[in-house]
């Protein structure tokens, strides 16, 4: 919204209110900037989720991690976001997991047994 539009609306809507045009425009500009900053924060991209297929190599509830061996033979140690996953998997299970980096650590956010 332009300054002249704001002033025109204020003049029509608030005829009995005495105000300084410059302070009103400054306040309106501050409000508009605050709104756009909030909208920008709300639209911030979420960290990417990457799928990973493999076989459960080990389960360690003590450290909240599961090691998964991928089809390429690489073993990845992944943190578990939801401790209930430990009830669902055992050594040797074929799984497909969704991994998201949370606080700098690769974390399993969902798991499907195949």
Task: Name the residue with tokens 């990457």.
Answer: 50
Q: Which of 31-40, 46-55, 103-112 has the highest mean pLDDT?
A: 103-112
Cα–Cα distance, 50 to 67 (Å, whole number):
16
What's the predicted TM-score (pTM) here? 0.58
Cα–Cα distance, 26 to 22 (Å, whole number):
6
CATH number of residue 99's parent domain: 2.40.50.140
Same domain, 65 and 83: yes
Percent of the chain with pLDDT over 70: 59
Cα–Cα distance, 18 to 20 (Å, whole number):
7
* Distance between start and end Cα atoms, the chain: 55
Q: Let me know: does 98 contact 108? Beta carbons within 8 Å.
A: yes
In the numeric block, which tokens belong to residue 82?
A: 């939801």
Same domain, 18 and 70: no
Q: What is the pLDDT of residue 16?
A: 56
| More reliable by pLDDT, 25 or 74 | 74
- Residue 66: domain span: 49-113
Same domain, 37 and 54: no
Same domain, 72 and 109: yes
pLDDT tens, position by position, 9-49 = 666 666 555 555 455 555 556 666 666 666 555 555 666 88
């Amino acid at each position: 919204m332009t300054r002249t539009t704001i002033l025109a609306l204020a003049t029509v809507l608030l005829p009995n209110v005495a105000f300084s045009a410059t302070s009103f425009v400054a306040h309106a500009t501050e409000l508009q900037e605050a709104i756009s900053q909030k909208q920008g924060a709300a639209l911030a991209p979420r960290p990417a989720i990457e799928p990973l297929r493999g076989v459960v190599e080990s389960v360690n509830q003590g450290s909240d991690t599961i090691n998964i061996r991928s089809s390429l033979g690489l073993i990845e140690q992944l943190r578990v976001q939801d401790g209930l996953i430990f009830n669902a998997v055992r050594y040797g299970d074929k799984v497909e997991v969704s991994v998201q980096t949370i606080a700098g650590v690769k974390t399993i956010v969902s798991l499907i047994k195949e």
